[in-house]
Amino acid sequence: MKRALALMTVAALMLAACSRSGVPFGQARLTVARGAKVTVTRAGHAAEAVTGSLTVHTGDRVKVTGGTASMALPGRATLELRGPRAGRAGSEVRLAAAPTLLAGDVLVQRDQGSLTLAAGGSEVTIRDGAARVSRDPSITAAAYAGEAMLKTTGRTLAVPAFRQATIAVLGVLPGRPSPLALDATDPWDNRFLGLAIDLSQELQQDSDGFSSNLASGSGRSVGFFKQVLPALADQPAFQPDLIDQARQPGETLVGAAIALTGVRGDFTSRWSSVFSFRNDGAAWGLVALDQAVTDAPRLSTTVQAALGRATFGPATLGSTQSAAPPPGGSTPTTSGGGGGGGTTTTRPSGPPPTTPTTGPVPKPPVTTPGDPVVNPVIDAINNLLGG
């Protein structure tokens, strides 16, 4: 009796889940975009070209060689498939309890709960979010939102949003995930991270311009950044130890602006997270989103205002430059002996001036009668003449 009640309870839960998702377990609703080239291979049958919408079942294989298609799964999960791109084959998926990615890319979305995708003997589980999973033949999961969990031969690695990780060899995981590599030409990247792509380009230009326009040695002090970013003056934790002297001033400026605009944790933890993620190679737009910065105009305005202050008030920004020598170059000297009491005068530095020459240029001296070389010759001539 208890067994029967348990079975009835499970059946009721399954029916309730099916009614919420609209797709029964063991099935998927395939929708082919107009003009796309998609085939479905059912068990024991040859591949068949399909269009429009149809139901596929466990064991069926869906392959996209052009365009796009989507698969609605039980539990309000979806898979998006696309044709060949960036040197990878088109998406190919086999429907199973854990859908299997056979080739290409697939976009996995699960707003609530989790969905596991099998690939090459490994698994990728997406929790409360979206991720791009690729097989070529290595397995890469790039998390757009929520979290992706990679599992291979019993080992697991969590991949938070805005990061990615690759299983290059079965059973081998990287030590930690890396920043997601943004691709401005990828429609999926643009859909989920278009803000990050645009913001990255803008902030990188601001950073490079700020660094290149500052005098050498400036832009590395607490006082400097408090003047270009006045809100830093309200942060007691902003002390010299937070500024990496090896970092370009533009990098510090943009990172500081993100730390001020972000909302996750206190200022010190935001500062640490910003530059840790940036040092890993994250684009500035991803760094901003990672700190829950969604007001891009506010961040842009903050950075632009700092650029304006640095540009139009260089003498008040704490720049340490040596004073230029006076015109003509002069160095003070003291006369009157080493015991003091002498007078200080100014002597031009550098080599002494050359005194100009006036009047005709003197000619070589004329040989005199007493010249020891000429006199014997004269005496010989006189003797011949009888003189």
Q: What is the pLDDT of residues 103-130, one digit of tens each?
A: 999 999 998 899 999 999 999 999 999 9
Residues 36 and 127 in one domain: yes
Residues 116 and 205 in one domain: no
> Which of the two residues, 168 and 373, has the higher pLDDT score?
168
Is 382 among the domain residues?
no
Average pLDDT, the chain: 82
Q: Tell me what pLDDT residue 217 has.
A: 80
Beta-ladder partners of 70: 31, 80
Range of the structural domain that residue 84 is part of: 22-179
Assigned token pair, 328: 């003509």
Is 14 among the domain residues?
no
What average pLDDT does range 55-72 have in this prediction? 98
Q: Is the pLDDT of residue 349 over 60?
A: no
Start-to-end CA span in the chain (Å): 168
Residue 183 exposed, middle or buried by CB count within 10 Å (0-12, 13-18, 19+):
middle
Q: Considering 151, 179, 207, which residue would you say is the last residue of a domain?
A: 179
Is 3 among the domain residues?
no
SS3 state at 108: strand
Is 346 among the domain residues?
no
306 pLDDT band, cuts 50/70/90, is: very high
Among the listed residues 106, 185, 115, 93, the one whose alpha carbon sits nearest the alpha carbon of residue 140: 106
Q: Tell me what pLDDT residue 148 has.
A: 98
Long-range contacts of 201-207 (CB under 8 A, 24+ apart): 201/285, 202/300, 203/254, 203/284, 203/285, 203/288, 203/299, 203/300, 203/303, 204/283, 204/284, 206/250, 206/253, 206/254, 206/303, 206/304, 206/307, 207/248, 207/250, 207/251, 207/253, 207/254, 207/284
For 192-247, how does the pLDDT look when each residue is reduced to its tens digit (9 = 90+)? 999 999 999 999 999 999 999 998 888 999 999 999 999 999 999 999 999 999 99
CA 273-276-277 angle, 5° bins: 85
Q: Considering 260, 291, 316, which residue would you say is the last residue of a domain?
A: 316
Give the type of residue at 251.
E
> Which of the two residues, 232 and 341, has the higher pLDDT score?
232
| % residues pLDDT > 90 (the chain) | 70
Q: Tell me what pLDDT residue 294 has.
A: 85
Look up the CATH number of the domain holding residue 26: 2.60.120.1440
Give the type of residue at 66.
G
State the Cα–Cα distance between residues 383 and 288, nearest whole angstrom.
113
> Which of the two residues, 362 and 42, has the higher pLDDT score?
42
Q: Tell me what pLDDT residue 271 has.
A: 98
Residues 173 and 278 in one domain: no
Q: Tell me what pLDDT residue 311 has.
A: 54
264 pLDDT band, cuts 50/70/90, is: very high
39 pLDDT band, cuts 50/70/90, is: very high
Assigned token pair, 232: 């830093």
Residues 125 and 83 in one domain: yes
Is 236 among the domain residues?
yes
State the Cα–Cα distance between residues 80 and 188, nearest whole angstrom.
10
Residues 159 and 289 in one domain: no
Residues 311 and 251 in one domain: yes
What average pLDDT does range 317-326 have in this prediction? 36
Residues 157 and 193 in one domain: no
Q: Is the pLDDT of residue 298 over 50?
A: yes
Poorest-confidence range of 11-25, 65-79, 287-301? 11-25
Residues 141 and 195 in one domain: no
Residues 219 and 288 in one domain: yes
Among the listed residues 114, 139, 116, the one whose alpha carbon sits nearest the alpha carbon of residue 129: 114
What average pLDDT does range 166-194 have in this prediction? 97
What is the total count of domains within the chain? 2
> Which of the two residues, 193 and 311, has the higher pLDDT score?
193
Residues 253 and 166 in one domain: no
> Which of the two residues, 97 and 312, has the higher pLDDT score?
97
Assigned token pair, 174: 């990287």
Is 383 among the domain residues?
no
Q: Considering 292, 316, 340, which residue would you say is the last residue of a domain?
A: 316
Beta-ladder partners of 107: 80, 132
360 pLDDT band, cuts 50/70/90, is: very low
Is 90 among the domain residues?
yes
Residues 169 and 208 in one domain: no
What average pLDDT does range 87-105 have in this prediction? 96
What average pLDDT does range 263-287 have in this prediction? 97
For 124-156, how does the pLDDT look when each residue is reduced to its tens digit (9 = 90+)? 999 999 999 999 999 999 999 999 999 999 999
Residues 52 and 158 in one domain: yes
Is 380 among the domain residues?
no
